[in-house]
Amino acid sequence: MIEYERENNLLTSKDQQSGARTLLRLHRALEFITGFLSELHKAPDESGLGSVTSEVYSRTLAKFHGWVVAKTVGAVLLMMPTKHTIIERVSLASKQVTGGIEAVRAHNEALMPKVIEVMTSVYNLTQKLYEDYEILDLP
C-alpha cells in the first residue's frame, strides 16, 4: 500500500485519500489506547483515572493536535471516572454470564496483560514500517 501510494503521489496529496495516512492516525490512536489500558490495569479500583489519562494523552496524541484542542482534550480527560466505574460500565452487558459481573471482571483483569502485549507488538511493527519508509510525518 505504501509503495503504491508513494508511486502514485497519494501520500502527500490533499485531494486524494490515503490508506497510509489513515493507518497512521489509527496507529497513533493505538498508542494512546494501549497506554490508557496499561494505566487502567495498574490502577487501584477506587483510583480516579483523570490525571493518568490526561498524561497518556499528553505523551501520545497531544503532539498531533493544535494547542486549543490539546488543552481542551487534556482538561476533559481529567473528568474520567474511577477504574471501578469504568469496569462496571464495560461489564454491565455481561451480567448474564455465569458468575456475574465479578466473573467478568476477573476474566478481563486476567486477559489485560496479554491484550496490552499484543497491542504493543502491533504498534511496534507499524512504527518500524513507518520509520523504514520515513513517513511518520504524513499530513
Residue with cell 482538561: 75
**pLDDT tens-place values along the chain, 139 residues long:** 999 999 999 998 888 899 999 999 999 999 999 999 999 999 988 889 999 999 999 999 999 999 999 999 999 999 999 998 888 887 766 666 667 777 777 888 899 999 999 999 999 999 999 999 999 999 8
Question: CA–CA distance from 89 to each of 79, 82, 93, 104 (Å)?
Answer: 16, 11, 8, 12
Say what the pLDDT of residue 95 is. Answer: 62
Cβ count within 10 A of residue 5 = 21
Residue with cell 484542542: 69
Q: What is the pTM of this model?
A: 0.88
Alpha helix (H) residue ranges in the chain: 2-7, 19-42, 50-59, 67-77, 83-91, 100-132
Say what the pLDDT of residue 50 is. Answer: 94
Specify the CATH architecture of the domain 28-130.
Orthogonal Bundle (1.10)
Say what the pLDDT of residue 104 is. Answer: 75
Say what the pLDDT of residue 96 is. Answer: 61
Cβ count within 10 A of residue 99 = 11
